[in-house]
Amino acid sequence: MNITRLTYYSRISIDAGAQSLADRLEDILIVSVANNRRDDVTGALIHDDTWFAQVLEGTEAAVSATFERISRDARHCDVRLVKIQPVAVRRFAASWMTLLGRSDGNTDLFRHYGESERFDPQLMLADRLGDLIEAVAARAAGAQGRFLDSPPRLGSELRRCGAQSR
């Protein structure tokens, strides 16, 4: 089977509203795992308070359809395709979906790959962004002995899409 790897980032557009941020992230994870299992798509999604960045892997048709759904999802705005390429093997074969937030345990990776204190995927080279996603997922897998299937519990509020980062 030919494998396609797609990397993108988007600005987070989650309204904290009545449901907690952690619950909304958990909803994303639950639906994504079900869809990805059905479509044989694997991948990892990382985030901070402003950005999502994700790698998707699978057949070109399945990855493209998944990316189209994400592009229409109101929880993402300013969605930008960074790279799409054929690959010989999956980086994330062990996980239908890994969801990981920036934390004290991985801030050094965000700083190293992003070459800044602040995570801004707009300023990163495509390969560096993909490597960051892989490194964050690998560290979490090593710490847990497997890829995570539940999002971290976060206390911070997410900025709305139109908010300016400072």
The pLDDT tens digits of the residues spanning 33-76 come to: 999 999 999 999 999 989 999 999 999 999 999 999 999 999 99
pTM value surpassing 0.75: yes
What's the chain's Rg over C-alpha atoms? 15
Across the range 106-112, mean pLDDT stands at 97
CB-based contacts of 106-113 (< 8 A; 24+ apart in sequence): 106/136, 106/139, 106/140, 109/135, 109/136, 109/139, 110/48, 110/136
The CA distance from 157 to 166, in Å, is 15
All domains of the chain in start order, with CATH? 3-144 (3.30.70.100)
- The residue ranking higher by pLDDT, 56 or 161, is 56
Across the range 76-94, mean pLDDT stands at 96
